[in-house]
Structure 1
Amino acid sequence: MNTWWRRIFLSLVAVLGIILVYTFIYQWGMMVYEDDPQSYAHAIQVVIESLTTAGFGGDAPWESTEMNLLIVAMNLTGVLLVFLALPLLVVPLFQQALQDRPPELTDLSNHVIICSYTPRADVLRTELEAANVPYVFVDDDPDTVVELTHDGIEAIVGDPEQEETLRAANIDFARALVADVDDETNATVILSAKQLRDDLRVVSVVEDDDVASYHRYAGADEVVRPRRVLGRSLAKKATTSIFAEFQDTIQLGDKVAITELLIQGDSDIAGQTIAESGIRDRMGVTVIGAWFNGEFVPVPRPDQRIDENTILLVTGGRDDITELKARTISRATNHRDRVIVGGYGIVGRNAAELLTSGGISCTVVETAAGDGIDIVGSVTDEEILQTAAVSDSRAVILALDDDTTTIFATLVVKQLAPDVEVIARANETENIRKLYQAGAEYVLALSTVTGRMLTSVLLEDEEILTPETQFELIRTTAPGLVGRSLGESDVRARTGCTVIAAERDDELLTDLGPEFTVREGDTLIVAGSDETVNQFISFAC
């Protein structure tokens, strides 16, 4: 709208300039050609009457040809201004008003209703799109709905607590509803949805663990708690090299495991290429993906170098992976068992509780005093970090609720203690890369965890096994691959994912070669990044 106000202002200035110029010419003409001097106020009146073709007052008729021509020119100018105003201002304003009016209903069916829109919903949106599941956002902010609509995203405006709004979202033909506003509002949304359709599957996202039971009582079929999962995941990442029980390896049967490994400085394989490290030849472990500076590379080349802070996604026998893990840990920092937690919200609290329960020394830094807070201050303050003995710590977990603050805190920590690992929470996936550039060793976004947990609940034929890791491991059917071998399908080259195992007739098959052919009823276990897994779903499902 700023563009329109500027256009209107400039138009008014131009019209005022025309009036003033004609007024001066009219005064001069009446004095020279009619010998009838006029006041400036009277001249303005005549000019405005002529431009608007409303009349000519007491001066008409004029005797001189020059003055009559001047009046004709003013008349034509007024008509021209009217014709210019219509296409340049009036019509576009009406069109803009119609375009910017947010939709108030949808005709989708078999869709997911998402109340409301937040940036963390983007991961869920992309997962649903990959699975060809329609969805509609319901939000009470008209500007948000207009922006989503302009981006081609289905959305309607309205209060999701009101039954009328849910009817406009076509709740009678929906497959599920996600309540993701806030803990109190979600409870009302659940009640309204169940009042309209008792059989509708309702999933609620809670921030505070204590309210989960209230949401279930209100009628929620599933309650997901992503902040709790995220906090515990960050704690596990910060303690991987301290206690084996915190290592988050995913075991598939008795023979195959999958995990992600952070390469620490001064470790045995840091600085080597994948081929030189002997990961596959000597240890029998397969690298199925890697994050280099926060960018996922599926099927990395043997000559790619494993630098400090590279994250490898590997699969193999559990004993082999345990051996490889030992070679990724820096001996210089292995003895440290102190962890600093910056931020004591729900994420930070869960991280601190898991650390404490594992016997790990934990120092909590928060801006406000309270139970569980060890140091009051900002984790972006150098003096506060020095008081927390950051240089003698194993890692710093940044569980802050603002990505900008988290990025700045990462820079401060790395300036003071370059060898200390930074394990960071991000709210939006677009800031993950920035945190890696700032020096963080491991980043996990709340939007990623939330989206994966919701997807696993909403999609019957897809189960996400790792909502709390940077890689995604799913169990899914693949009707598009039935009757085709893995070699023929060329899944890794086409999607960047790796088929780790297959479930067939209650049996887990882990030794899958290129000749393995997918049968009707098979369930595949597939690993990759969020983006590559979505490509696999679109390709195979």
Structure 2
Amino acid sequence: MNHWWRRIVLSLVAVLVLVLVYAWLYQLGMATFEGETRTYADAIQTVIETLTTAGFGGDAGDWQSPQMNLFVVVMNLTGVLLVFLALPLIVVPLFQQALEDRPPESTELTDHIVICSYTPRSDVLAGELEAANVPYVFIDDDPELVVELNSEGTNAIYGELDQEETLQAANAADAHALVTDIDDETNAMVILTARELSSELRIVSVVEDEDVASYHRYAGADEIVRPRRVLGQSLATKATTTVSEELRDTIELSEELAVTELLVQEHSDLVGQTIPESGIRDRMGITVIGAWFNGEFVPVPGPENVIDGNTILLVAGRRDDLTELKSQTVSSLRHNPDRVVVGGYGVVGRTAVETLVSGGVSTCVVDIVDEAGVDVVGDVTDESVLEDAAVDDSRSIILTLDDDVTTIYATLVLKQVAPGVEIIARANETENIPKLYRAGAEYVLSLSTVTGRMLASILIEDEEILTPETQFELVRTTAPRIVGRSLGDVDLRARTGCTVVAVERNGDLLTDLGPEFVVSVDDMLIVAGSDEAINQFVTLAC
């Protein structure tokens, strides 16, 4: 809309300049060709009457010379031209834009997911729902955002989030579920309003403060999601697993099969080798599902992908074999393995500290707020504060800040102050994950990813996300579109970038899956890969 206002203002300025110039020429022409004197104000009046074809006043009889008659004709044609240009270029598009810029306030969807408020965390959930072909609609109280979302092909309506009329316009009573992810107080209001509207509606609430979870349940929420706590636990677990050769953070599928991600440290045995050179597949019998190189997931690492200190391997195999591989990812240069600095003491930071302490790891907390539990008060991007926290004498630092820009900057500072310290970082938005890796972080997990996966696992039927708290996604799902076809025929890895690591059939877990394996109608496939790869698999096979 601002674009159109600028166009209107510029058009009015251009017309004003034209009137002033014509008035000056008219005044000069009357004096030169007709010998008549006109004031500038009289000239302006005559020009306006001529351009608007409203009449010529008393001057029409004084135009005797061909020059003045020709000038008046030119002014008449200019007026007509302005009218014809204004309609198609300004007036009609302005009305069209006004209609387009009006945000929709209702939807006709049914059996859908109603999502109260659009946030960056919602992108992950929207992607999961789209891949599973589950309809959804956002409700937001920002009209410009709603218009923008609809222009991008995302269903969204405008309305006050906690008003019954808005939920009625979103067909909440006929929805499959309602998700509210605003803030703890507004979420409670939305829950109460939605429950008044329908006693059968499934309501899922995202909470930040764990203490309010009971209030949301009392208000009528069926499910409570605590992504910040899960994120804090995951980051802390990653810090403890990187200081030991012991294999801890695995997803046990059976006694013979586990899936895990392994962070390769600088100066470890694997650095400088490619996947084929490392012997992970041939010598250890471990399936390499993929690897992250500087934050980019590569489903089939080739000879051009060299393992370095920023590589994260996604692997599946027997626990004993994975333990052997884990020992090769740990640096031979041990550096203060029992101390971890935590930057930021919000919900995520507190949970990380609790997890570390329970695991016997000593911590040092840095935060700008002086409160109980904070050891060093100050900005984690300040070199003197980092020195006070003795970051250089620690094994890792976990950045749990609530602002991605600050986290990225803190990572850059840490790489200068303490280049040997491992950086494990929280990101709020998934788009900032590659930036953090480029800045020097060894491991990054986003709040958006954790939130979106936890919600998707609750909302999508026939699909269970087993790993909401990791960089990779492991799902348990049916695959009706490839029933009766072999894995080799479908070639899922090449087409989607993910790997079928196991299949549940008749109560048994099948792990020896060759290309000749044929998918049956009742099979539950366990599939691993990046978020994007899994979404492509769901679109193709489900």
TM tier, smaller: over 0.9
Report what 1:210 is aligned to: 211
State the distance in 1 between where 2:304 and 2:318 align: 24
Question: 1:18 matched to which residue of 2?
Answer: 18
Shift in Å at residue 243 of structure 1?
Answer: 5.2
Residues 281 and 36 (structure 1 numbering): CA distance in 2 closer, same or farther, change over 3 Å?
A: closer
Distance (whole Å) between structure 2 residues aligned to residue 194 and residue 9 of structure 1:
49
Backbone CA RMSD of aligned residues: 1.5
Q: How does 1:286-301 map to 2 (within 5 A)?
A: 286-301=287-302
Q: Which residue of 2 aligns with 1:152?
A: 153
Q: Check conservation: 1:465, 1:472, Cα contact below 8 A.
A: yes
Task: Describe the SS at the equivalent of 1:55.
Answer: coil
* 8 Å CA contact retained: 2:245, 2:327: no
CA distance in 1, matches of 2:179, 2:63: 80
Cα distance, 1:244 vs structure 2 = 6.9
Query: Residue 239 of structure 1: SS of its match in structure 2?
Result: helix
Alignment of 1:361-400 (within 5 A): 361-400=362-401
Give the deviation of 1:535 after TM superposition: 0.8
The CA deviation string for residues 462-481 of structure 1, in whole angstroms up to 9 with x for no partner, is 00000000000011011112
Per the alignment, residue 450 of structure 1 pairs with 451
- The amino acid across from 2:5 in the alignment is W
Mapping 1:112-511, distance limit 5 Å: 112-242=113-243, 247-301=248-302, 304-511=305-512
2:57 is aligned to 57
Gapped regions of structure 2 (runs ≥ 5): none
For the residue of structure 2 that corresponds to 1:537, the secondary structure is helix
Amino acid at match of 2:159: G
AA matched with 1:47: V
SS at match of 1:113: strand
State how far apart, in whole Å, the 1-side matches of 2:186 and 2:527 are: 36
Question: Relative to 1, partners in 2 of residues 1:200 and 1:63: Cα closer, same or farther, differing over 3 Å?
Answer: closer
- Please tell me whether the aligned partners of residues 178 and 202 of structure 2 are also in contact (alpha carbons under 8 angstroms): yes
Between the aligned partners of 1:243 and 1:370, the Cα distance in structure 2 is: 31
C-alpha distance after superposition, 1:99-127 (max 9, x if no partner): 11101111112110000100110000010
Pairs within 5 Å for 1:516-535:
516-535=517-536
1:42, distance to aligned residue in structure 2 (A): 1.6
1:212 shift after superposition: 0.8
Q: Please state whether the residue corresponding to 1:33 is helix, strand or coil.
A: helix
Distance 2:370 2:336 in 1: 31
Equivalent residue letter for 2:14: A
Match for 1:23: what amino acid? A
Cα separation, 2, equivalents of 1:178 and 1:506 = 33
Cα 1:303–1:3 change in 2 (3 A) is closer
Structure 1 position 518, deviation (Å)? 1.5
1:63 to partner: Cα distance: 4.6
Task: Return the alpha-carbon distance in structure 2 between the equivalents of residues 179 and 394 of structure 1.
Answer: 39
Structure 2 CA distance for aligned equivalents of residues 246 and 427 of structure 1 = 28
1:29 aligns with 2:61: no
| Residue 385 of structure 1, CA deviation | 0.5
Equivalent position amino acid for 2:314 in 1 = L
Matching residue's letter, 2:212: V
Which residue in 2 is equivalent to 1:9? 9
Separation in 2 of the partners of 1:269 and 1:63? 96
**Is 1:62–1:68's contact at 8 Å kept on the other side of the alignment?**
no
Which deviations, in whole Å up to 9, do the C-alpha atoms of 1:308-342 show, x marking residues without a partner?
22100011111111111111001213542211111
Q: How many residues align?
A: 541
Displacement of 1:408: 0.5
Distance 2:533 2:464 in 1: 16
Q: Mean alpha-carbon deviation: is it higher for 365-374 or for 240-249?
A: 240-249
- In 2, distance between residues paired with 1:63 and 1:51? 17
Partners of 1:241 and 1:334 within 8 A in 2: no
In 2, Cα distance between equivalents of 1:284 and 1:50: 90
CA contact (8 A) 2:180 2:206 kept: yes
Amino acid corresponding to residue 28 of structure 2 in structure 1:
W
Once the two structures are TM-superposed, the CA of residue 247 in structure 1 deviates from its matched residue by: 2.2
CA deviations 1:36-95 (Å, max 9, x no partner) are 211112221222222222222233312513333333322222222122111121111111
Contact kept? 2:481, 2:541, Cα under 8 Å:
yes
**Residues of 2 paired with 1:29 and 1:415: CA distance?**
76
* Equivalent position amino acid for 1:40 in 2: Y
Q: Which moves more between the two structures, 460-469 or 30-39?
A: 30-39
Change (3 A) 1:33 1:334: closer
The equivalent residue for 2:91 is: 90
* Residue identity in the other structure for 2:8: I
Q: Deviations over 1:233-276 (max 9, x none)?
A: 01111111335778211111111011000110111111122222
Which amino acid in 2 is paired with 1:481? Answer: I
* Partner Cα separation in structure 2 for residue 420 and residue 304 of structure 1: 24
2: CA distance, partners of 1:527 / 1:243: 25
Letter in 2 for 1:4: W
280-289 or 170-179: which moved more? 280-289
1:104 aligned residue? 105
Residues 246, 366 of structure 1: CA spacing in aligned structure 2 closer, same or farther, 3 A cutoff?
farther
Equivalent residue, structure 2, for 1:79: 80
Instruction: For 1:280 and 1:56, locate their aligned partners in 2 and report how far apart those are by CA, in whole Å.
Output: 93
> How far 1:490 moved relative to its partner?
1.6
Deviates more, 1:64-73 or 1:81-90: 64-73
What is the distance in 1 between the residues matched to 2:464 and 2:352? 25
AA at the equivalent of 2:199:
D
User: Could you tell which deviates more after superposition, 328-337 or 495-504?
Assistant: 328-337
* Equivalent residue, structure 2, for 1:45: 45
**Contact kept? 1:275, 1:303, Cα under 8 Å:** no
Q: Distance in 2 between matches of 1:464 and 1:282?
A: 31
> Does the 8 Å CA contact 2:245/2:326 hold for their aligned counterparts?
no
Q: Secondary structure at the match of 1:57?
A: coil
Q: Report the CA distance between 1:515 and its aligned residue.
A: 2.4
Secondary structure at 1:468 match in 2: coil
Alpha-carbon distance in structure 1 between the residues aligned to 2:393 and 2:508 = 48
Q: Amino acid of the residue matched to residue 113 of structure 2? A: V
SS in 1 for 2:90: helix
Cα displacement string for residues 367-389 of structure 1 (whole angstroms, at most 9, x for unaligned residues):
11111111111110111011111
Aligned partner letter, 1:256: L
Q: Structure 1: how far apart are the matches of 2:162 and 2:370?
A: 35
Deviation at 1:344, TM superposition (A): 0.8
Matched residues in 2 for 1:291 and 1:189: separation? 39
Q: Contact 2:243–2:395 at 8 Å: present in 1 too?
A: no
- Asked if structure 2 preserves the Cα contact closer than 8 Å seen for 1:46 and 1:57, the reply is yes
TM-score after normalising by structure 2: 0.97
| Contact 1:271/1:308, CA 8 A, preserved across alignment | no
> Letter of the aligned partner of 2:180 in structure 1?
A
Question: In 2 relative to 1, CA 58–525 (structure 1 residues): closer, same or farther, beyond 3 Å?
Answer: same
Q: Which structure 1 segments of 5+ residues have no match?
A: none
CA contact (8 A) 2:246 2:323 kept: no
